[in-house]
Chain A
Amino acid sequence: MKSSSRITKVIIALFLLLTAVSIAATYYNTMVLRDFVIINDLEEAF
């Protein structure tokens, strides 16, 4: 295998790892902590 091809694979793997961490963080933030702003516009809407 050429070294550039190996480097490409390593970079893609690192990127995917970072993506997985980011997805986990988003899940934790939204689904577990529910840490986001809710604009309660129910009264305006109805």
Chain B
Amino acid sequence: MNELLHCPWEPASFLFISSNVPPLVHYSHYVAIFAALSIALLVFLNDPRSHVARLFLLFSGLFSVWTLFDVGLWSTNDPAVVMFLWSMQVLIEPLTFATALFLFYKYLKKKSPPLWSVIAGIVLLLPLVIFLPTPLNLEALYLSSCETAEGPLAQYYTYFVNILFTMAIILLGIKEIPKIKDLQQRKVARYFVFGLVIFLLTFTSGNIISSFTDDWTISQYGLFGMPIFAALIAYSIVQFKAFKVEIAAAQILVIAILALISSLLFVNDQYLSKLVAGATFFFALTVGFLLIRSVRNEFLQRLQLEKLTTDLEKANVRLQTLDKQKSEFVSIASHQLRSPLTSIRGYASMLLEESYGKIPVSAKEPLERIETSAKRMALAVEDYLNVSRIESGNMKYELADFNLKDEIERICDDVRPTALKSGLVLLFRTNLESKGVVHADVGKTVQIAHNLINNSIKYTEKGSISVYVRDDVNKKYTYVDVIDTGVGMSQETIDILFQKFSRAEGANRVNTTGTGLGLFVAFKMAEAMGGTITAHSAGEGKGSRFTLTLPLAM
């Protein structure tokens, strides 16, 4: 009897094609299936060994089968097919929810759920499985609409189970997400639970409403939102990074093109067309292979670059910390050295002046050496301290207007005897349009000028040193040139001259006492006062010119 009865519309061809299916069903169902499956497949291809990716694929697969069966239910007019597909839907729906809970647990805790919860889940699902073939599930079928009269299992129990699983997901999220320490991870986990819960609620709410109102068009609308929520879940699983989306997309594109071309091989009978299609297939295969390989290589290079950048950032932070610690150490050590040095210098000087009585002639030279060495050491300690102050930003500058020409002239007068002792002529000249008043720290300026002139004396064996003060009122700068006929420098030396601890090649031959800090300190001081220092030389053995630039007083 049952074999003869059919619902009053034409039979479906290929199970899913029928005039009874409203166009809305096609749009909602196939788009949802395509989106859920392709997104899950992309995530899976990204990392096929990941349990979360596998579970997401299973979840999307179950959802897709449910949706496909739904199209079958709309199409067929065979009551037997309706009863079977409807029963399958009643089973698949809670299974999808159970998989969702499993997936979420695995995602959050990175391990399988405890045994008791698995047993509890299965106990919940057991009545559905056991009574699926009985009238407790589906009681009967209405022939006019091919819809079923749902039994208590399909109408109440399945939704009860769905809601329980959804509640479990929400509670798990509330309990576990705040425990995540990393802010970014916590945000991503929120996206995940949001996407999953909305997906499930949209999925079940339409069915619940339809189940009670017998209007099954309502349940179609929920499916439209599925791609968005599926994408949100996928986004959370891959967590922004390391998602080889380019590779997966290239693979899918190549496979789709190959499938399209290979289909031409079967639909066309003409030999020539088959030949062309075959050649095109091999061409596409080769190009596709090259495309995937190039995309893959680019992706791997980018990953490597990102890793290197992160490593560099970490190394940079560590270096900065170490540099700061070093400056602090130098500062403390230098302060500790300075006090005893002052005593050594002071007492050596007093001994030489015979403040403690007459000293033997033979002790005079050693005492002079003690005083000179202590003086040299004090200068070195002062350099270290200055570097430490500059780097920690503790160097104080008292900017004021003063006459640079007068100060430089005084320095020249002071150091001329030293120059003469070395057989050098020290000349002082000016070419000023203004009065030569600059706005700077007078003490620091004197220190810089001393440093530059003394350097010239040290590195000049014969000839002269010319100190030249000039200005440019248009540019509002005053310049102090220190020009010598000394050892000169190569361009390579000039390039590193103002760096810390850098000394000119062969500098030790001429001057053994330099720390390599004097020019660094002078340069930093000039910069801090709004000026600069530059160096020029025609080459080794051809003399040098150092120029101190300072802003004119306004």
Does B303 sit within 8 A of A, measured CB to CB? no
Q: Is B115's CB under 8 angstroms from A7's CB? A: yes
Q: Is B5's CB under 8 angstroms from A40's CB? A: yes
Q: Is B141's CB under 8 angstroms from A34's CB? A: no
> How far apart are the CA atoms of A22 and B140 in the complex, in Å?
19
In the assembled complex, the CB of A24 is this many whole angstroms from the nearest CB of chain B, namely 9
Residues of B near A15 (CB, < 8 A) are: 122, 125-126, 129
Interface size class of A (residues with CB under 8 A): 20 to 34
> How far apart are the CA atoms of A23 and B126 in the complex, in Å?
13
Of the stretches B81-89, B249-257, B294-302, the one at the interface is B81-89
- Give the residue of B83, B118, B143, B144 whose beta carbon is less than 8 angstroms from that of A30: B83
Known: A25-B133, A30-B83. A42 touches B144 (CB 8 A): yes
Residues of A near B141 (CB, < 8 A) are: 36-39
Q: Is A39's CB under 8 angstroms from B119's CB? A: no
Quick one: which of B88-126 are within 8 Å of A by CB?
Answer: 88, 91, 95, 112-115, 118-119, 122, 125-126
Q: Is B133's CB under 8 angstroms from A26's CB? A: yes
Q: Is A11's CB under 8 angstroms from B122's CB? A: yes
**Closest B residue, CB atoms, query A44:** B144
Q: Is A26's CB under 8 angstroms from B87's CB? A: yes
**Closest B residue, CB atoms, query A28:** B133
Residues of B near A11 (CB, < 8 A) are: 115, 118-119, 122
Q: Is A34's CB under 8 angstroms from B2's CB? A: yes
Residues of B near A44 (CB, < 8 A) are: 144
Q: Is A25's CB under 8 angstroms from B118's CB? A: no
> How far apart are the CA atoms of A18 and B88 in the complex, in Å?
14
- Give the residue of B5, B79, B125, B132 whose beta carbon is less than 8 angstroms from that of A25: B132
Q: Is A39's CB under 8 angstroms from B142's CB? A: yes
**Closest A residue, CB atoms, query B128:** A22
Residues of B near A34 (CB, < 8 A) are: 2-3, 79-80
Known: A8-B115, A22-B132. A31 touches B80 (CB 8 A): yes
> How far apart are the CA atoms of A12 and B80 in the complex, in Å?
30
Residues of A near B125 (CB, < 8 A) are: 15
- Give the residue of A31, A38, A45 whose beta carbon is less than 8 angstroms from that of B84: A31
CB < 8 Å A-B pair total: 91
Known: A26-B87, A30-B83. A39 touches B129 (CB 8 A): no
Q: Is B87's CB under 8 angstroms from A30's CB? A: yes
Does B313 sit within 8 A of A, measured CB to CB? no
Interface size class of B (residues with CB under 8 A): 35 or more
> How far apart are the CA atoms of A22 and B144 in the complex, in Å?
28
Residues of A near B5 (CB, < 8 A) are: 38, 40
Known: A15-B122, A34-B2. A23 touches B88 (CB 8 A): yes
> How far apart are the CA atoms of A4 and B2 in the complex, in Å?
49
Q: Is A26's CB under 8 angstroms from B118's CB? A: no
Known: A11-B119, A39-B143, A41-B144. A23 touches B2 (CB 8 A): no
> How far apart are the CA atoms of A1 and B79 in the complex, in Å?
48
Residues of B near A22 (CB, < 8 A) are: 91, 129-130, 132-133
Q: Is B119's CB under 8 angstroms from A23's CB? A: no
In the assembled complex, the CB of A11 is this many whole angstroms from the nearest CB of chain B, namely 6
Known: A31-B81, A39-B142, A39-B143. A8 touches B132 (CB 8 A): no
Residues of A near B377 (CB, < 8 A) are: none
> How far apart are the CA atoms of A29 and B88 in the complex, in Å?
13
Does B149 sit within 8 A of A, measured CB to CB? yes
Q: Is B81's CB under 8 angstroms from A38's CB? A: no
Q: Is A36's CB under 8 angstroms from B79's CB? A: yes
> How far apart are the CA atoms of A23 and B8 in the complex, in Å?
28
> How far apart are the CA atoms of A5 and B118 in the complex, in Å?
11
Does B540 sit within 8 A of A, measured CB to CB? no
Does B145 sit within 8 A of A, measured CB to CB? yes
Residues of A near B133 (CB, < 8 A) are: 22, 25-26, 28-30
Q: Is A36's CB under 8 angstroms from B115's CB? A: no
Known: A31-B84, A36-B79. A23 touches B118 (CB 8 A): no
| Chain A CB within 10 Å, residue with most, of B79, B114, B129, B140 | B129
Residues of B near A18 (CB, < 8 A) are: 126, 129-130
In the assembled complex, the CB of B37 is this many whole angstroms from the nearest CB of chain A, namely 21
Does B138 sit within 8 A of A, measured CB to CB? yes
> How far apart are the CA atoms of A18 and B127 in the complex, in Å?
11
Residues of B near A7 (CB, < 8 A) are: 115
Q: Is B112's CB under 8 angstroms from A8's CB? A: yes
Does B176 sit within 8 A of A, measured CB to CB? no
Residues of A near B132 (CB, < 8 A) are: 22-23, 25-26
Given contacts A11-B122, A39-B140, 14 further A-B pairs with CB under 8 A are A15-B129, A22-B129, A26-B88, A30-B81, A30-B84, A31-B81, A34-B79, A36-B141, A37-B139, A38-B5, A39-B149, A41-B143, A42-B143, A46-B144
- Cβ contacts A to B, 27 pairs, < 8 Å: A4-B114, A7-B115, A8-B115, A12-B118, A12-B122, A22-B133, A23-B88, A25-B132, A25-B133, A29-B133, A30-B81, A30-B87, A30-B133, A31-B81, A36-B79, A36-B80, A38-B2, A38-B5, A38-B141, A38-B143, A39-B141, A39-B143, A39-B149, A41-B143, A42-B8, A42-B144, A46-B144
Give 5 closest A-B pairs by Cβ, nearest first: A45-B144, A37-B140, A30-B83, A34-B2, A30-B84
